[in-house]
Amino acid sequence: MLNFLIPPLYFTIAIFSIGVFVFNVSSTTPVLGKLIRTSCGIDEVCLSDSIPEVAETYPNKQLEIIIRTTEPPKAIISADAAIVTLEGHATFFVEGTTEEIGLIPFSTTIQCNVISLPSRIAGLIKIRKLQFHEHIDFFGLTLQSLDSFKEAAKGAMMKMVNEIFREGISLNESATSRLSNTSISLVDRGILLQTKFNIERSFYQQMPISV
């Protein structure tokens, strides 16, 4: 069994350098995709419910959002949870076009509780804080007028991610992997990765075959 302890600083640098925090929201995104339609039926929920100006300018359109971090994420990790702080901006487009119609700078603090199961990782997230900042460019609206949309987006994001994490994400080995019985858990000031490494398979796959 191999044990790896990943400190928060290394984790922060690694995930930022490979661009993990670039997220696309479109019509195919569960929960959030429906929320950013500009028009919808009386029994549905969409963007025009909280921001009617969007429907007036772009009726019956599906929007798309590119969410990108602008600062390296900060993480505080304990045995119970990881608290991650992100800063970035959300750029809005009409889906299927390159027409940029809005920009919202934001910051958020997310609590992640991780549950390590046999060969799976599950968990629960809670968005502790979501703030929109000055210099927004969204149909001439003020920060205060976006409060309803902000709360709706916060709830939809938690619902979408928690539905995925509730079932857990498989860590099972593939046919070509040399790792098995992998588990990930939070410990004080780090992330503990435990796995079995098949040295024998690795050794024989490296050996030349002669007939």
Q: Number of C-alpha atoms within 13 angstroms, CB side, residue 192? A: 17
Q: How big is the CA angle at 131 (ends 20 and 99), to the nearest 5 degrees? A: 65
Match 């505080």 to its residue by tokens: 76
Q: What's the pLDDT at 164?
A: 81
pLDDT per residue over 91-114, tens digit each? 999 999 998 999 999 999 999 887
Match 């992100």 to its residue by tokens: 86
Q: Where in the chain are the domains?
A: 2-172+183-188
Q: What's the pLDDT at 147?
A: 93
Exposed e or buried b for every residue in 167-189, given b needs 16+ CB within 10 A?
ebeebebeeeeeeeebbbebeee
Q: Which residues, including other chains, have CB under 8 Å from residue 145's CB and lie 6 or more apart?
A: 51
Bridge-based pairing of strands 82-94 and 74-77 is antiparallel
Percent residues over pLDDT 70 in the chain: 69
Tell me the average pLDDT of the chain.
Answer: 77
User: Model pTM?
Assistant: 0.72
Q: Which residues, including other chains, have CB under 8 Å from residue 8's CB and lie 6 or more apart?
A: 75, 76, 77, 189, 190
In this predicted structure, the answer to whether residue 36 has a pLDDT above a threshold of 80 is yes
Q: What's the pLDDT at 131?
A: 96
The domain defined by 2-172+183-188 folds into Bactericidal permeability-increasing protein; domain 2 (3.15.20)
In this predicted structure, the answer to whether residue 129 has a pLDDT above a threshold of 60 is yes
Q: How confident is the model at residue 41 (pLDDT cuts 50, 70, 90)?
A: confident
Contact 95, 61 (CB under 8 A): yes
Spatial separation of the C-alpha atoms in residues 179 and 177, rounded to whole Å: 5
pLDDT per residue over 49-90, tens digit each? 989 999 999 999 999 999 998 888 887 777 778 888 899 999
* Most confident by average pLDDT, 16-30, 127-141, 176-190: 127-141
In this predicted structure, the answer to whether residue 122 has a pLDDT above a threshold of 90 is no
117 against 141, higher pLDDT: 141
Q: What's the pLDDT at 190?
A: 53
125 membership: H or E segment, kind and range = strand 120-132
Match 């076009």 to its residue by tokens: 97
112 against 1, higher pLDDT: 112
In this predicted structure, the answer to whether residue 25 has a pLDDT above a threshold of 80 is yes
131 against 76, higher pLDDT: 131
Contact 175, 45 (CB under 8 A): no
Q: How confident is the model at residue 172 (pLDDT cuts 50, 70, 90)?
A: low
Contact 2, 50 (CB under 8 A): no
